[in-house]
Chain A
Amino acid sequence: MTGVSTSERPQPLIVGAGPAGIRAAQALVKAGLRPLVVDEAPSCGGQIYRQRLVSDGRSTRDLYGSEAPKAEALHRDFAALDGKLDYWPQALLWNLRDGRADIMIEGTSRQVAYDGLLLATGATDRTLPLPGWTLPGVFTLGGAQIALKSQGCAIGSKVVFLGSGPLLYLVAWQYMKAGARVAAVLDTAPFAAKFNLLRGLPLFPGIVLRGMRMTAELKLAGIALHYGVGDVRIEGASTVAAIAWRQDGMEHRLACDGIGYGLALRSETQAADLAGCRFAFNTRDRAALPERDAAGRTSVPGVYIAGDGAGIAGADAAERAGERAALALLQDRGLPHDAARAATLEAELASIGRFRDVLEAAFPFPAHWARDIADATTLCRCEEITAGEIRAAIGRFGVHELNRLKAVSRVGMGRCQGRVCGAAAAELLAHETGRGIEAIGRLRSQAPVKPVPLTLALSAQQQEAAE
């Protein structure tokens, strides 16, 4: 220490106000710190516990189902921190560098010096391109859920849910409960994979049984559940009209006007990358993720990471990881922290991690996507690059590294900066070059984290070293 008292040091910065960010903020405030929480959404909760813009007659039970108590607790606990922290909603962290964050609020950029950075940036749906997936009416599972939860809308009058992962059944069930018409659930994983869930029973019986109950209720409602679905094509001229697929060697087709699609989730890691964190390939998530210890410390001193942004583990894990990372921050600052609590949290996180392995086995990644994707299918939605164009670029330039593929094909260069197409580009490159998915590099993140206007104004008080 240099003799500067703790109160004069810059604030810790928490990025994201979902379950991880909220629990982290709570732990820091409890220890007497005053963190700054920045979040893109207008209100706290993250995606999973996202709040409506206005009330609409639905109860929290209607919105969050069995998770309503958790949602209520998080919203309530964060509200109780009012006055004890600084909270910037609708704020985009668009650049990070040398202990300073550039944050955009209403078209103005403020630079914030921070002492301690806790990233709780969450996740988005992982998708893999399919014929017709850019048609209006196709949304991610998360998108379909937000339409319902936050906007009170169904994405169609006859909706098909496609993909794999727990969210597939959850969103289908939520649509059914809300009175929307669900035409079918198409699971890309074989039915046999679901027996893996039995291994999860002793770990988290409640979750497994809830999933089974949802599946049973979907069936009771007459909703067709198809397993081992492959060769999926979405049809339609200007909007979704039908979905076709192959199953057990048979061709199937079903008329529909909305599709919710997702293959589990992928971490939002741009901020960690800009912060200089070292990444390592994670086999379970099939993605490069920021390295972290069990407490959430990254390779960069003073930078912590928690929640789905550090690797997919779900909301319950995020709450614990957020609190755990905050305790690590306190400990590293030489402040009192509850070591017993930290150990408990780590044990719970380890147990959730084992359950994640079970889920991965029950909802496996579609193994042959890269082999089967047709050349004509658009792979990169932003730049409208087809799988065939990417294959051609790999061949013409002899590419075997992902950033080089980006350089010569533009994949990942568009507005989304590879959020949507990055996983697919990696799978295709690995397949075409005969390398492992872990051996082709990862897309390096660049600022801005999301698009910013050219007229972005520099705040008068360019550096806000918050007290």
Chain B
Amino acid sequence: MPLLHRLVRADHPAIPFTLDGVACEGRTGDTVLTAILTHADRLRLSEFSASPRAGFCQMGACQDCWIVLESGERLRACSTSLTAGMSIVTRRARAA
């Protein structure tokens, strides 16, 4: 079940990305956080207890939404715009 529910921009141009290997579509104007959470109910697993996390402040302060791309690259989901072709992994608890 997605966490976020779109109220607008549903018809904006699609931006393809993959989430844990599954093909997904975000919308122009999406942050990475929005793109993920309109498809899924978490962004990542926490480092120490592997509990699900989905961000908190959405304004780049709490640092709870750092996610991993398949390349290993790390980014803060709430303050990064979605770009086409991102391969996002939510299963991994840690950066490596």
Chain A positions within 8 Å of B, measured between CB atoms, are: 40-42, 47, 52-54, 56-58, 124-125, 134-140, 142-144, 146-148, 151-157, 178-180, 238-239, 257-258, 268, 381-384, 414-416, 419-420, 450-451, 453
Q: Which residues of A contact B79 (CB under 8 A)?
A: 40-41
Asked if A47 meets B46 with Cβ closer than 8 Å, knowing A136-B41, A179-B7, the reply is: no
CB of B6 within 8 A of CB of A153, answer yes
| Residues of chain B having any CB pair with chain A under 8 Å | 1, 3-9, 12, 28-31, 34, 37-38, 41-43, 46-49, 51-64, 66, 74, 76, 78-79, 81
Do the beta carbons of A56 and B61 come within 8 Å of each other? no
Give the chain B neighbours of A258 by CB distance below 8 A.
Answer: 3
Which residues of A sit under 8 angstroms from B51, Cβ to Cβ?
134
Task: For A415, give the chain B residue with the smallest CB separation.
Answer: B63
Chain B contact residues, majority secondary structure:
loop
Residues of B within 8 A of A180 (CB): 5, 7
Q: Which of chain A's residues have a CB closer than 8 A to the CB of B7?
A: 148, 152-154, 178-180
A–B pairs, 24, beta carbons within 8 Å: A41-B79, A52-B29, A53-B29, A53-B81, A124-B57, A124-B62, A139-B58, A142-B57, A143-B58, A144-B58, A146-B59, A148-B7, A151-B4, A151-B30, A152-B9, A153-B5, A239-B1, A239-B3, A257-B1, A257-B3, A381-B62, A381-B64, A416-B61, A450-B63
Task: For A143, give the chain B residue with the smallest CB separation.
Answer: B58
Q: Which of A125, A153, A178, A451 counts the most chain B CB atoms within 10 A?
A: A153
Q: Which residue of chain B lies nearest to A262 when distances are taken between CB atoms in the complex?
A: B57
Q: How far is the CB of A158 from chain B (nearest CB, A)?
A: 10
Q: How far is the CA of A135 from the CA of B53 in the complex (A)?
A: 6
Please, how many angstroms separate the alpha-carbon atoms of A42 and B81 in the complex?
10
Instruction: Choose among B8, B46, B55 the residue that contacts A152 (Cβ–Cβ < 8 A).
Output: B8
- A151-B4, A156-B5, A414-B63 are known; give 4 further A-B pairs, CB within 8 A: A138-B56, A381-B56, A420-B64, A451-B66
CB-based contact B61/A419 at 8 Å: yes
Using Cβ atoms and an 8 Å threshold, which residues of chain A touch B29?
A: 52-54, 56, 151-152
Please, how many angstroms separate the alpha-carbon atoms of A376 and B56 in the complex?
20
On whether the beta carbons of B63 and A416 are closer than 8 Å, the reply is: yes
Q: Distance in Å from the Cβ of B56 to the closest Cβ of chain A?
A: 6
| B61 nearest in chain A by CB position | A124
CB distance from A267 to the nearest CB of B (A): 12
In the complex, are the beta carbons of A139 and B56 less than 8 A apart? yes
Is A415 in contact with B58, judged by CB distance below 8 angstroms?
no
A53 touches B31 (CB 8 A): yes
Residues of B near A257 (CB, < 8 A) are 1, 3
A54-B28, A134-B46, A382-B63 known; A152+B58 contact, CB < 8 A: no
Q: How far is the CA of A257 from the CA of B71 in the complex (A)?
A: 32
In the bound complex, what is the Cα–Cα distance between A180 and B5 (angstroms)? 9
- Residues on B with beta carbons closer than 8 Å to the beta carbon of A384: 46-49
A384 to B57, CA, bound (A): 17
A143 touches B57 (CB 8 A): yes
Pair A147/B54 contact, Cβ less than 8 Å: no
Q: Are A57 and B8 in contact (CB under 8 A)?
A: yes
**In the complex, what distance in Å separates the CA atom of A302 from the CA atom of B12?**
47
Q: Which of B54, B55, B57, B64 has the most CB of A within 10 A?
A: B57
Which residues of B are found within 8 Å of A135, using beta-carbon distances? Answer: 52
CA–CA, A154 to B34, complex, Å? Answer: 10
Chain B residues within an 8 Å CB radius of A415: 63-64, 66
B60–A450 CB distance below 8 A: yes
List the B side residues contacting A41 at CB < 8 Å. 79
Cβ distance A453 to chain B, nearest Cβ, rounded Å: 8
> What is the chain B residue whose CB lies nearest that of A90?
B79
Chain B residues whose CB sits within 8 angstroms of the CB of A451 once the complex forms: 63, 66, 76
A106 nearest CB across to chain B (Å):
12
Report B44 CB to chain A, min CB distance, Å: 10
